[in-house]
Amino acid sequence: MDTASAASKAAPLASPKVVKNSKGALVPSSQMAHIAYGCEHMREMLENVKKATFNNYRAILQDIHEKPSVISQTHKSPATGDGRPVVSLRPLYLCLQCPSIMTETDRDGHIESKLHCFSVESRDGHLYCGHCQDFIYDPDLEVRRLQKGKKRKYEDTTTTDDHKLIISNSTFLPCRAIGLRGLYNMGQTCFMSVILQTLMHNPFVRNFYLSEGHRTSECEKEACVSCALDEMFVEFHSSEKTEGFGAVSMLLGSWLAGEALAGYQQQDAHEYMQFILNTLHLQNGGSSDSEDCTCVVHQTFYGKLSSTVTCDKCRNVTTALDPYMDLSLDVRNQIKKRKLDVKSGDEIQLDLRDCMERFTGREKLAAADYTCQNCDSGQNATKQLSIKRLPPVLPIHLKRFEHTKSTSSKIETNVRFPLKLDIYPYTTAHKSTQTKAAKLANAPNTNHNMNSPTNSLIYELSSVIVHKGKIDSGHYVSYSREGNDWFLFDDSKVVLVSEAEVLGAEAYLLFYMVSGLEM
Amino acid sequence: MSEDRAADEQVDGARATVRLSPDALADLTKDILEDTISNIIFSTALESHRSEKLLRMQSAATQAESVALSSLELQPSIKSANSSSQPSVPTAETSAAKYENGRVFLKGNPLKTTPEIICPHCKLPRLMHPIMGKGMQNPDLTKEYCMLYPWVQRQGHDVYGNPFPTDMAKSKKERELIKQQQKNTEKESVGTPGSQDTDMAGGDTQSKEIKLNTGGKPASYIPWHTCPNCKRSLLITRFAQHLEKCLGISGRQSSRNAMAKLTGNGSGTGLGNTPLGSRMGTPAPGSQSDILPKSKGKGVSPVKKLNDEDDEGDNDTPEKKKKKKSSYVKKADRERGGRDGSVLKVKLKTGAGRDPERKASDSSERPDKRDREDTNDPDGAPKQKKIKLSLGRSDSNGGAENGASQERRESK
């Protein structure tokens, strides 16, 4: 692999630059010790038959992730003797050196009798070493496992020279500076803090800024919001401080850029999000055409909604595409009327998926509201929204604030939301198959693979913004995930919390992030 | 979903060959349930096995690498004596791994061979348990640890173990009152530090023990920040309120500023009676954020620029942002500044431990207090402190590792 060769070639570089830490131990500049193999036995294997091993492993991974799962979940057990194929729900082991598929107990026998030391676990493709009697994580093979046996679509363009350059010109950041800092409340600025925190913990935005996407030194704008965000990323990721941060230049920049949001008063976090995304788009060289804008904001948040209107009379369909940066969902409790009859004692709970269903459901338009061009007259029609294009990070806004002419109120309905959301049912692709497939009575389109089912698009919850209290006197807090840990950001406080607490929160804005990207 | 599918096929297969007994469905349900739960446990266990083993693998490699590099450091004298043709290939062997010219070969299972987790970045051992709160264990303080501590879960404390700021919402007077009270109680019981939370494990500063560092501030700490517009220093919690007035968005000043904008005159005060017809070169209101060139002092509004001109150029930090000396120095500060030879305007306090005492007059007390906290020398050199102010950026980029570690020790 690229990294392996790079590290080995770069190694002599380690000697000229020797740094000591405070204890006198040596700290080589920005270089991590490179592990060559997963274990001694894998070293022997790869040194002898590298290519065959890689090919076999890739083939097994493809079986696991692409073929019907029943193939890798069926074993012929020699133990019972009759050799009948048996399907197992539990993980089986696919020998890396021959086509055998075995149960856990058979695996150990196979290792002894055939001296086939390595086998691949059938659910996630983890590699088991019979000599270590343990799962091993070989750097080269792990890369293939995480790619699910697919070839990379895009080549890693960093060359050996690049690696050398990086190693000799960089140092490690303080270990503690991993971006977990609070933001001081500067006086009713929590609406800003929560949006900033979700941006700080958005990997796409973070990578953009940490890779010098916006160069403050070259920026000529006065009170630039993008520079202010850059300043925050630098501070959060390079300083050992743990207390809060005063986002003064961000506040100043926001106020100067957006007159509507300026002033010492409470603001709506959703409005601020729309404002800051738009401002960042403009300040990072975004083009006016959102369709092919390459700015970080559009690359991260831009999607398209398809809106189809079908005339009830002539069945003429008109389709319009609308860009979006977030989905605004209705949380008014329409189900209440129906469920009151059921007389359940529990509080009626709305689920995010109900809201999405309703959002993409069919809606009747009255003749007064729709003029069919085909019929050239007002006609009853059916309207349906669906997601045509999904962004890598999908913000979902729950419309908790209701504004009528005279009053504004907050809807405090509890809306449940999942950690993993399958968005496929709300996409245009799904909605179109639904109508046609129903007519043609086609069999459901599936590949019978549990690892990568065709009809699913999994997004994972990454941040939650919560509004507490009344409409006019409330407080915003946010939750964000880092690795497997969830953190609560309440102004300058950062607290480790449980998944359960996050899922029980009264969400106002939800951020779902795509669970995997193909490279 | 997918589980069900596999199960269905199993059921189909069974039905073809044998008649089902009445209990079959119950048995089957039980089997499927058991298998499914066992799969969940299997996946969870394997996931944590993976993350732990990867850490241990890296630790074994890091240790071997450290040994190799330290032996390399001893060699240069010998090497130069023998020949300078070929730099010697660094090799080393520990019980867990072998290091050969930049590659590490593991020996045995790192879960057995390597009990400790070594940070691959700073090469120091990681603490394995939180230093307080849920699951805490007192660490061996004779060793130095990687600063990435396990997250603390404790009521009223953040993930680093710092107590929450307590008196954010309190007014200045209230805070001063509390300070006064704390000071009085401290006088009565000399020697006991005010807050025991932040340095619970290393109570006495004098000992050679390495102290655990939560990195934060005492609960009463509220930072000050210089207003980019008017260069006044003020509490961060009051910032929005101040900025609103300062920028002239609302409040007393706003109408005057608005008028100043209209007249196109920079001074912003006392020109209220300029006739509206005389405007010239008026910038379009609201678009100034785009059209203004970046001035030297960032965020200086045209209104205030004139007043600030006189302090351009003294106190030059290489970074263009923040920490500019202000022309607005309170009287007490000015006096003090004269004595110290420099005016410290940035209220960065270090020292997690002690609760700062403050005299009634806040402003005159600030620089004084810094000195007392950071060093035991009451007249500690303020020049040295200035290095710290620019830390955030220059250290991380410039690779001044030693400087950083020095700072770390200092701040304990």
Predicted pLDDT of residue A265: 78
How confident is residue B334, by pLDDT bands cut at 50, 70 and 90? very low
DSSP label of B163: B
How confident is residue B7, by pLDDT bands cut at 50, 70 and 90? very low
Best residue of B73, B145, B239 to probe chain A, by most A CBs closer than 10 Å:
B239
Question: Residue B386 pLDDT more than 50?
Answer: no
Predicted pLDDT of residue A438: 55
Q: pLDDT by residue (tens digit) across A409-467?
A: 888 888 999 999 999 989 988 887 766 555 555 555 667 777 777 778 899 999 999 99
Contact A186 B236 (CB under 8 A): yes
Contact A40 B90 (CB under 8 A): no
Predicted pLDDT of residue B303: 43
Look at residue A403 and tell me if it is in a domain: no
Predicted pLDDT of residue A203: 93
Q: Does the CB of A229 have a partner CB in chain B at under 8 Å?
A: no
Residue pair B349/B371 in contact by the 8 Å Cβ criterion: no
Predicted pLDDT of residue B41: 95
Predicted pLDDT of residue B251: 52
- Give the total residue count for chain B: 412
Question: Residue A373 pLDDT more than 50?
Answer: yes
Residue of A nearest to B217 (CA): A243
From chain A, the residues in CB contact with B168 under 8 A are 185, 491-492
Question: Residue B299 pLDDT more than 50?
Answer: no
Look at residue A517 and tell me if it is in a domain: no
Three-state DSSP at A225 gives helix
How many other β-carbons are positioned within 10 Å of the β-carbon of residue A254?
Answer: 24
Contact A243 B221 (CB under 8 A): yes
Residue of A nearest to B102 (CA): A11
Residue pair B106/A129 in contact by the 8 Å Cβ criterion: no
Q: What is the largest distance, in Å, between two alpha-carbon atoms of chain B? A: 103
Residue of B nearest to A19 (CA): B401
- Chain A neighbours among B 215-274 (CB < 8 Å)? 215-217, 221-223, 225, 227-229, 236-241, 243-244, 247, 249-250
Predicted pLDDT of residue B389: 36
Best residue of B37, B144, B159 to probe chain A, by most A CBs closer than 10 Å:
B159
Among B32, B53, B393, select the one facing A238 at the smallest CB separation. B393
How confident is residue B31, by pLDDT bands cut at 50, 70 and 90? very high
From chain A, the residues in CB contact with B148 under 8 A are 175-176, 178
DSSP for A61-93 reads HHHHHHS-HHHHTEEE-TTTSS--EEE-SS--E
Domain of A130, in residue numbers: 5-168
Mean pLDDT of A205-231: 88
Mean pLDDT of A68-79: 81
Predicted pLDDT of residue B36: 94
Q: How far apart are CA B272 and CA A441, in angstroms?
A: 78
Predicted pLDDT of residue A412: 83
Q: Does the CB of B169 have a partner CB in chain A at under 8 Å?
A: no
- Which range (A14-23, B87-96, B306-315, B386-395) has the least confidence? B386-395
**Angle at Cα A353 formed by Cα A348 and Cα A358, nearest 5°?**
85
Alpha-carbon torsion B92, B93, B96, B101, what sign? positive
Three-state DSSP at B202 gives coil
**Distance set, CA A364 to CA A313, A357, A361 (Å):** 13, 15, 10
Predicted pLDDT of residue B170: 58
Alpha-carbon torsion B231, B236, B237, B240, what sign? positive
Predicted pLDDT of residue B339: 46
Contact B165 A252 (CB under 8 A): no
Q: Does the CB of B375 have a partner CB in chain A at under 8 Å?
A: no
Contact B294 A222 (CB under 8 A): yes
Classify burial at B123, counting beta carbons within 10 Å of its beta carbon; exposed 0-12, middle 13-18, buried 19 or more. buried
Classify burial at A389, counting beta carbons within 10 Å of its beta carbon; exposed 0-12, middle 13-18, buried 19 or more. middle
Residue pair B277/A223 in contact by the 8 Å Cβ criterion: no
**Distance set, CA A361 to CA A352, A431, A434, B277 (Å):** 14, 10, 12, 58
Q: pLDDT by residue (tens digit) across A304-351?
A: 999 999 888 888 888 999 999 999 998 876 655 454 444 444 556 789
From chain B, the residues in CB contact with A494 under 8 A are 158-160
* Residue A128, strand partner residues: A119, A135
Residue pair B90/A15 in contact by the 8 Å Cβ criterion: yes
From chain A, the residues in CB contact with B1 under 8 A are 450, 453
The torsion angles phi and psi of A453, rounded to 5 degrees, stand at -60, 140
Question: Residue A141 pLDDT more than 80?
Answer: yes
Q: Strand A34-35 to strand A26-28: parallel, antiparallel, or no bridges (unpaired)?
A: unpaired
Most confident of A268-277, B76-85, B303-312: A268-277
Q: pLDDT by residue (tens digit) across A423-434?
A: 998 998 888 776
Any alpha helices (H) in A189-295, and if so which ranges? 190-200, 203-210, 225-238, 248-257, 269-283
Look at residue A297 and tell me if it is in a domain: no
Q: Does the CB of A246 have a partner CB in chain B at under 8 Å?
A: yes
**Distance set, CA A387 to CA A303, A424, A429 (Å):** 8, 9, 8
Mean pLDDT of A346-372: 84
Q: Does the CB of B124 have a partner CB in chain A at under 8 Å?
A: yes
Which is more confident, B123 or A347? B123
Place of tokens 């690359």: A299
Place of tokens 């209290």: A469
Question: Residue B2 pLDDT more than 50?
Answer: no
Mean pLDDT of A94-104: 89
Predicted pLDDT of residue A118: 92
Most confident of A226-230, A378-382, B279-283, B338-342: A226-230
Classify burial at B199, counting beta carbons within 10 Å of its beta carbon; exposed 0-12, middle 13-18, buried 19 or more. buried
Three-state DSSP at A327 gives strand
Mean pLDDT of B57-70: 88
What does the domain layout of chain B look like in residue ranges? 23-72+89-115, 124-164, 224-261
Look at residue A518 and tell me if it is in a domain: no
ipTM of predicted assembly, 2 dp = 0.82
Predicted pLDDT of residue A363: 87
Which is more confident, A432 or A59? A59
Most confident of A70-79, B280-289, B334-343: A70-79
Q: pLDDT by residue (tens digit) across B199-210?
A: 444 333 334 455
Closest CA to B297 of B402, B391, B226: B226
Q: Rounded to the nearest 10 degrees, how much is the dihedral formed by the CA atoms of B286, A216, A299, A490?
A: -80
- Which range (A45-54, A288-297, B215-224) has the least confidence? B215-224
Predicted pLDDT of residue A371: 83
The model carries a pTM of: 0.73
Q: Does the CB of B106 have a partner CB in chain A at under 8 Å?
A: yes
Which is more confident, B272 or B190? B190
Residue pair A27/B399 in contact by the 8 Å Cβ criterion: no
Q: How far apart are CA B258 and CA B277, in angstroms?
A: 15
Question: Residue B289 pLDDT more than 60?
Answer: no
Best residue of A234, A252, A254 to probe chain B, by most B CBs closer than 10 Å:
A252
Which is more confident, B256 or B25? B25
Contact B236 A137 (CB under 8 A): no
| Mean pLDDT, rounded, of chain B | 62
Closest CA to A229 of A252, A260, A204, A196: A196
Q: pLDDT by residue (tens digit) across A465-490?
A: 999 988 777 899 999 999 889 999 99
**In chain A, how many domains are there?**
1
Question: Residue A124 pLDDT more than 60?
Answer: yes
From chain B, the residues in CB contact with A39 under 8 A are 106, 109
DSSP label of B139: -
Q: Does the CB of A40 have a partner CB in chain B at under 8 Å?
A: yes
Look at residue A163 and tell me if it is in a domain: yes
How confident is residue A197, by pLDDT bands cut at 50, 70 and 90? very high
- One-letter identity of residue B354: R
Closest CA to A468 of A491, A486, A487: A491
**Distance set, CA B327 to CA B75, B253, B315, B382 (Å):** 57, 20, 12, 19
Strand order in the sheet with A118-121: A101-102, A93-95, A118-121, A127-129, A134-136
Three-state DSSP at B394 gives helix
The domain spanning residue A110 has which CATH number? 3.30.40.10
Closest CA to A300 of A272, A329, A325, A282: A325
